[in-house]
Chains A and B, each alone.
Chain A
Amino acid sequence: MKVLIPAPLRSYTTDRNAVEAQGATLAEVLADLDRRYPGIRFRMIDEQDAIRRHMRIWVNREEVRTLEVPIAASDEVIIIQALTGG
């Protein structure tokens, strides 16, 4: 499926704002994403598998809070970074 990448993470995707990844759950999609773009997952998911404080992930139009969310091949995963602070 298509995964939309926010600007701060595009250094991992050679500046591409949309990439392909595969998996039956969000956890699998992110693992696949990390195989293709090593290091990208840890910048948005911590070592306890929690989505980091300023990262937001949507599957289609629904925001998800855990990684154990089923994903279909036709779904779109949207990763957004919530900017705060100075």
Chain B
Amino acid sequence: MAEKTVRIPVLPKAATGAVALLIATRKGGFVLRSDPARRRWRTVGPMFFGHIVHHMVLDPRPKARRAATLLAATSTGHLGPTLCRSIDFGRTWKEAAKPPAFPKAPEGQKGRAVGHTFWLTPGHASEPGVWYAGTSPQGLFRSEDDGETWSPVSGFNDHPMYGQWTGGEQDGTPDGPKLHSINVDPRDPQHLYVALSSGGVFESIDRGASWTPLNSGVLADFRPDKYPEFGQDAHCVRLHPLAPDILYQQNHCGIYRLERPKRHWVRIGRSMPKQIGDIGFPIVLHPRDPATVWVFPMDGTSVWPRTSPGGKPAAYVSRDSGKTWRRQDAGLPRSQGWFTVKRQAMSVDSHQPVGVYFGTTSGEVWASRNEGSKWACIARHLPEIYAVEAVRFVS
């Protein structure tokens, strides 16, 4: 593993200009385009109308002669999963020649089949064309040709502990257990983190050939052993791109922070207001300040309604690495707002001040162009929103 540092290198310039939000929904994909001031938004779409779009991700790595590759993981309620590529920002799409799929099992053995590709992550900046995908059931896949063909990462998928790490179907989310939150260390392409829902967080320092659980300190209150080595339900894990030793995790059982090389997560959600709690799905990081983090709490009591606590939706921001939290609800419904924001459905841009965005399962997109101080609804009546990714608009 490359030598680590927590010192932030030269701070990148804040982005300017129009922002695009890549919106993945249960019935298709949409793009919301802003004006340069991020005040006015226009909805374009649907793409893949009627198809489930699980995640749309634009390659942030610069390309010399053409637009960056945009990948979309799609399926339908009935057809098998696939993955599509666009090199003109979604105007045209081409299906991957070999989407993520597990190997065929030997005769007489039960094999796994990808239900859908859930998560997409571009590879390291030094490896153009490399992408990672996380699937349901839990599988890690890698492409080395810009998403055209995908191969299983056998070091994870065939690990002798795979069955124990991932549990069974009953240990996953209602629409299947998932591998998500694939984070690539920007200093070292061999250093990877993934998260399982359920299963917890796992780390590899050899490009996925071997893996170790990384869950010390993380509660699993649904098990008799409350702090197991693995088996936690990680909802979303983000590594800070400028301070890659700092990871944040929104878990089924709280909000956590980890500073490497330590291996013990600290529950920073304990400082959230008691009546709100620290359960939720998404967590997003300020692109230039590793101490600033946003979450969108949900009701995780009784039968887990997974909606805004008390019907009063709010984001919470911490600007001191989770020591204190501030409620951000200006512009959001004051009551009867039963939002559910899924783990991929919150995102930030790179402007100054940072724009924060989230999509709801009831098809609304909310935006704040001042780091959560004030929110505005910029789209409504869309299908159930699964994922939101803020990117620089490419005309």
Would A8 and B76 count as touching, CB distance under 8 A?
Answer: yes
The docked-state distance in angstroms from the alpha carbon of A84 to that of B79 is: 12
A48 B78 Cβ-Cβ under 8 A = no
Within 8 A of A (CB), among B73-117: 76-80, 82, 95, 97, 99, 101-105, 110-114
Q: Say whether, besides A38-B97, A47-B101, A48-B111, A9 and B79 are in contact (CB < 8 Å).
A: yes
CB of A73 within 8 A of chain B? no
Complex contact B111–A47 (CB within 8 A): yes
Q: Decide if A52 touches B104 in the complex (CB within 8 Å).
A: no
Name which residue of chain B comes closest to A45, CB basis: B80
Q: CA–CA, A83 to B78, complex, Å? A: 7
Contact of B82 among A42, A81, A83, A84 (CB under 8 A): A42
Tell me the bound Cα distance from A46 to B75 in angstroms.
13
In the docked arrangement, what's the CA distance between A46 and B100, Å?
11
Which chain A residues numbered 47 to 75 have a C-beta less than 8 Å away from chain B?
Answer: 47-50, 52-55
In chain B, residues 99-142, which have Cβ atoms closer than 8 Å to a Cβ of chain A? Answer: 99, 101-105, 110-114
A50 to B111, CA, bound (A): 10
| A42 in contact with B104 given A48-B111, A48-B113, A50-B113 (CB within 8 Å) | no
Interface residues of B in 34-62 (CB under 8 A from A): none
Q: Kindly provide the distance from the CB of A67 to the nearest chain B CB, expressed in whole angstroms.
A: 12
CB distance from B75 to the nearest CB of A (A): 9
A contact residues around B114 at 8 Å (CB)? 46-47
Interface size on A, residues (CB 8 A): 22
Assembled-state Cα–Cα distance A54/B115 (Å): 12
Bound CA–CA A9/B104 (angstroms) = 24
Interface residues in A17-38 by Cβ distance below 8 A to B read 38
Q: Is the CB of B79 within 8 A of A8?
A: yes
Cα distance A15–B148 in the bound complex, in angstroms: 24
Given A38-B97, A39-B82, A39-B95, A46:B77 Cβ within 8 A: no
Partner of A54, one of B78, B97, B101, B102: B78
Does A43 lie within 8 Å of B102, measured CB to CB? Answer: no
A residues near B103, Cβ cutoff 8 Å: 47
With a cutoff of 8 Å between Cβ atoms, the chain A residues found around residue B76 in the complex are 8
A49–B111 alpha-carbon span in the complex (Å):
10
The interface centre, meaning the residue of A47, A49, A53, A81 with most chain B CB atoms within 10 A of its CB, is A47
Residue contact A85 to B113, C-beta cutoff 8 Å: no
In Å, the complex CA distance between A54 and B112 comes to 17
Closest chain A residue to B111 by CB distance? A48
Beta-carbon contact of B102 and A8 below 8 Å: no
Chain B 154-193 per-residue mask, 1 if CB under 8 angstroms from chain A, else 0? 0000000000000000000000000000000000000000
Residues of B within 8 A of A55 (CB): 78-79
- A17 to B12, alpha carbons, bound, how many Å? 54
B158: shortest Cβ distance to chain A, in Å?
A: 14
Q: Are A42 and B99 neighbours in the complex by a CB distance under 8 Å?
A: yes
**Taking A38-B97, A46-B113, A47-B114 as contacts, is the C-beta distance between A52 and B79 under 8 angstroms?**
yes
CA separation between A8 and B97, bound complex, in Å? 19
Give the contacting residue for B104; candidates A44, A48, A82; CB below 8 A.
A48
Q: From B114, which residue of chain A is reached at the shortest CB distance?
A: A47
Q: Would A44 and B80 count as touching, CB distance under 8 A?
A: yes
Min Cβ gap A86→B in Å is 8
Contact for A47 among B78, B95, B113, CB less than 8 A: B113
Contact of B77 among A9, A45, A49, A84 (CB under 8 A): A84
Residues of B within 8 A of A44 (CB): 79-80
Encoded as 1 (CB less than 8 Å from any B CB) or 0, chain A from 1 to 23 comes to 00000001100000000000000
Q: Name A's B-contacting residues (CB within 8 A).
A: 8-9, 38-39, 42-50, 52-55, 81-85
5 shortest interchain CB distances as A-B pairs: A54-B78, A46-B113, A47-B101, A48-B111, A43-B79
Show 6 A/B contacts (Cβ-Cβ < 8 Å), sorted by A: A43-B79, A44-B80, A46-B80, A46-B101, A47-B103, A52-B80
